Amino acid sequence: MVFEQGHFVDRPGRVRVRVNDGDAPRVGGTAVETHDGTFRVPAAESDDILEA
């Protein structure tokens, strides 16, 4: 997956995420850090929409 944001405010960033079965997620790309926090993924049985 590739995530992009920040173009509208002239702070573009791109993050690539790769997940292979049984492996830890790999994250890479370019970005400008403006916030710090924790991202939590809901349980697999949950149908909730992720919002950030």
Specify if 45 maps to a domain: no
The answer to whether residues 11 and 5 touch, using CB atoms and an 8 Å cutoff, is: no
For residue 18, give its domain range. 1-32
Domain count, the chain: 1
Specify if 48 maps to a domain: no
Specify if 17 maps to a domain: yes
pTM: 0.45
Specify if 46 maps to a domain: no
Specify if 8 maps to a domain: yes
Specify if 25 maps to a domain: yes
Specify if 4 maps to a domain: yes
pLDDT at 7: 82
Alpha helices in 1-52 (DSSP H): none
Q: Give tens-digit pLDDT for 4-43.
A: 888 888 888 888 899 888 889 898 887 667 788 988 776 7
Q: How far apart are CA 20 and CA 22, in angstroms?
A: 6
Specify if 37 maps to a domain: no
